[in-house]
Amino acid sequence: MRCCAGSSPSAALCSGGWTRSPWAPAAVTLAHPVAVSRLPGFGEGLVSVQDAGAQLAAPLLDARPGMRVLDACAAPGGKTAHVLEKAGERVEVVAVDIDAGRAALIRENLNRLRRSAHVVVADVRDTGAFWDGRPFERILVDAPCSSSGVIRRHPDIKLLRRAEDIPALAALQLAILRAAAGMLTPGGRLLYATCSVLPEENEEVIARLLAAEPQLALARMPAGGELAPGAVDRRAGAQLLPGAEAGTDGFYYACLEKTTAGI
């Protein structure tokens, strides 16, 4: 769970069996499950339900006041809200999702957290349907994936997901990333994130992206162990493994920057 900007874990929370994360500054962990409606401060926008591993996205994206930011696959809006919290109100965020129902969740979460963004229902690959041509300084692609990193919380994934699904997902991820690259300003940062532990969806997608988009280059990011306890460096990016030392779900992150080459 994340304590939102301007709030902190209260003595009441911690005495109720909630503990602060030793490595994620805004994260607290519940000792026992609690209904969302009963979380102290949830309705007031003081806390959000978000895995500590997911809380790495906003710091890695590093959006700053005055920047224009795209959250390309934004629903349900947890990372969108965190980006707004980290960067402040002087950042312009466009939050896109292909599904109208899930886009409504973005608005609902932002309203609860008293944050604002321009929420758009669109296929982010079809940039002409929503993009006004003004480039973004920061783009987050939290891509659709196999969700293999969250099986511990959703064991049905093992029954529903098939090996033949992965190539199609990887193709979709690459297409979204290439569309995002076209909207990124030179010098801008693109953060790729999945909740997958499969190389085919992670570093292999990044390798294909770099081959197809020579104007992109890997950006410096913290080494795996500096990012989170037990995180593992990959050829590109870093992998958090589910249930490892950090106690998070499985996540993959890779940071890229757009150079002037190839533009």
- The catalytic residue among 73, 145, 195, 255 is 195
CA dihedral 122, 157, 49, 255 (to 10 degrees): -60
What mean pLDDT do residues 24-29 have? 82
Q: What is the pLDDT of residue 101?
A: 98
pLDDT surpassing 50 at residue 12: no
Q: What is the pLDDT of residue 263?
A: 46
In this prediction, residue 146 has a pLDDT band, given cuts at 50, 70 and 90, of very high
Q: What is the pLDDT of residue 89?
A: 73
Q: Where are the alpha helices (DSSP H) in the chain?
A: 11-15, 57-61, 78-87, 100-113, 157-160, 165-183, 203-212, 224-227
CATH domain 51-258 topology: Rossmann fold (3.40.50)
Q: For the chain, give every domain's residue range.
A: 1-49, 51-258
Based on the residue annotation, tell me whether 73 is a catalytic residue of this protein: no
In this prediction, residue 29 has a pLDDT band, given cuts at 50, 70 and 90, of confident
pLDDT surpassing 50 at residue 79: yes
pTM of the model: 0.91
What mean pLDDT do residues 22-43 have? 80
What mean pLDDT do residues 159-185 have? 96
Q: What is the pLDDT of residue 42?
A: 80
